[in-house]
Structure 1
Amino acid sequence: MNKVLVTGSSGFIGRELVKQLLQFGKTVVAHSRSHVIEQCQNAHIELMPDSSWMPALDNVDTVIHCAARVHQMDETEEEAQRAYDIVNVQATLSLAEQAVKMGVKRFVFVSSIKVNGEWNAPDVAFQHDDLPHPIDEYGKSKLSAEEQLKNLCLDSDMELVIIRPPLVYGPGVKANFYSLLRVIDKGIPLPFGCIKTTRSLVFVKNLVDLILVVCTHSRAPGQTFMVSDDDDVTVSGLFRAVAKHMNRPTRLIPVPQELLKLMLTLIGKKAVAQRLCLPLQVNISHTKSLLNWTPPYSFSEGLKETVDCYLEHKG
């Protein structure tokens, strides 16, 4: 691996990935819509089916596809479904087809655990060879992209590797995890004291470490890899761990889990209730054994870096 195209290079995962690639002395083509990333060849390309990637793919041997369309709050379900298909499926396949034409050797696709589903039975973690069962349109679009990439690579010399991360956290995290940090920092009481369901998370540096491994590992092509910190945490345990790292009091009200699910469902937050009250665990034994890989950072180390960054930069 000498020259790498990273899509979504200005995003949460992409930033850390580009940083580490540069530290290893790789030539990086950093794709984004408008950001300029120092020490990289910058490629400002819209992720659309008719976009031309040929100039950005010149002499590239590895593509790491991190960019994706995620849910926007102000769109309907039908609008979201169409946008996911255009960006996450059609545009992804177009990029891969052009990569084949340009002689790219390996295509690493950052998919999502949502391909497997939104939750699993207690103590029955998702595995790499489970039958896919995506629930929402985002997960369905990721599965469709996986399937079409597999078909493409079967008929070409380009190797495909798929990674399905669960919730990714780390310094500079946004969205729901950032909201969690803010709520705990403000000392707002939360009704989550009775939630004992377990979740798999992945620290962004652990995910990036795995991405770098599969870019060159001889046993990676053709495989789908699950990834996590290999140190699952209960929802209430996560809140307590964040509060401890922040040196804040833990203010969790012990509302019975079934009552909490009912309350959230009644106010139109059924999806939130499912994420909080249903387990989502990932089995990474296949990843560890096939690649001889273990996450280099523990959950505690990753959470400390995340909280420290939040406290340093909070407004």
Structure 2
Amino acid sequence: MSKRKILITGKGSYVGTNFIKWLEQWPDQYEVVELSVRGTEWKEHDFSIYDVVLHVAGIAHVSTDPSMEQQYYKVNRDLAIEVAEKAKEEHVKQFIFTSSIIVYGDSSHINKKRIIDNNTKPQPSNFYGNSKLQAEEGISLLESDDFKVVIIRPPMIYGKGSKGNYPKLASYARKLPIFPDIDNERSMLHIDNLCEFIRLMIDNNENGVYFPQNNEYVKTTEMVRLISEIHQKNVKLTRVFNPLIKFMGNFVGTVNKAFGNLVYEQGMSEYKENYRVWDLQDSIGVTEK
């Protein structure tokens, strides 16, 4: 069997770098090339030799700076569609686009549950989410029998070297003697679970919109407890501050970021093959090792 040839557009990205590492387990099955799509040189690259393009280039973090808005649309939407158009023109068979749960808006308030199911309509609350959603729409229009489009809307991705909320939580878990014990639920996805999911999308030549997540929802406090245990810190959990924190949730965005609720209904994330190589506890273990 000949190797599947995969082009990752977006050099040095967290997902792309980890995916390359993940596929090293099957050296005879996959051949992966990474391509920078900054500037215009990428347009000269021959896409026709690849079976799959995995597009991971993009501005990843939410900014509220209005001067950044055009840049978000240019990179997250226009560039993604342009890469997909080139892939289709040059007869690539499958295009995989990494979008985000952020197309549904922010996580909910600390005092409210928010469950996304198959009937939930995307409603971005900022231009990051909107740029991702418009990219999805533009790319989906290109789909045909010969050009399969996979759109992945992962929740918060974490793992060794990840950016965003996880490293902040890990640092609290290592440093703080006590931490608030608040009941919340988040869908999250360990990077290895995502990499295995993408591999299965390629192996099974899939198309459609997908919502991979870990087997279990994550409670922020529980995550902090697991991280602190690994570092033998054993943080003390307390509910003493809960009334104050819940009150602050009405005014302070970071409270909802840390303790808000945002989950995919579990059934949306099922797939015919198991992609969840780590459960929560093991995933924290491999991340913090």
Common topology (TM > 0.5):
yes
One-letter amino acid matched to 2:213? S
Alpha-carbon contact 1:171-1:306 (below 8 Å) kept: yes
Bigger RCO (CA 8 Å, 6+ sep): 2
Where in structure 2 are there 5+ consecutive unaligned residues? none
- Superposed counterparts of 1:1-315, under 5 Å: 2-25=4-27, 26-31=30-35, 44-46=36-38, 52-71=42-61, 77-119=65-107, 125-154=115-144, 157-187=146-176, 189-190=178-179, 192-193=180-181, 195-218=182-205, 220-221=206-207, 223-257=208-242, 259-263=244-248, 266=251, 270-289=252-271, 291-308=272-289
Alpha-carbon contact 1:5-1:56 (below 8 Å) kept: no
Q: Any idea what the Cα deviations from partners look like across 1:78-110, whole Å, max 9, x if unmatched?
A: 122211100000000110111111111000111
Alpha-carbon contact 1:257-1:277 (below 8 Å) kept: no
**CA 1:188–1:140: 2 relative to 1, 3 Å:** farther
Larger deviation, residues 140-149 vs 110-119: 110-119
Q: CA deviation at 1:116?
A: 2.1
State the SS of the aligned residue for 2:210: strand
Where in structure 1 are there 5+ consecutive unaligned residues? 32-43, 309-315
One-letter amino acid matched to 2:16? G
**CA 1:305–1:229: 2 relative to 1, 3 Å:** same
One-letter amino acid matched to 2:210? F
CA RMSD of aligned residues (A): 2.5
One-letter amino acid matched to 2:190? F
**CA 1:209–1:70: 2 relative to 1, 3 Å:** same
Q: CA deviation at 1:13?
A: 1.6
Scaled by the length of structure 1, the TM-score of the pair is: 0.81
Q: CA deviation at 1:10?
A: 1.8
| Overall identity of the aligned pairs, in % | 25
Alpha-carbon contact 1:128-1:225 (below 8 Å) kept: no
Which residue does the alignment assign to 1:313?
none
One-letter amino acid matched to 1:164? R
State the SS of the aligned residue for 1:161: strand
Larger deviation, residues 115-124 vs 201-210: 115-124
Q: Any idea what the Cα deviations from partners look like across 1:214-235, whole Å, max 9, x if unmatched?
A: 11314x21x1111111211212
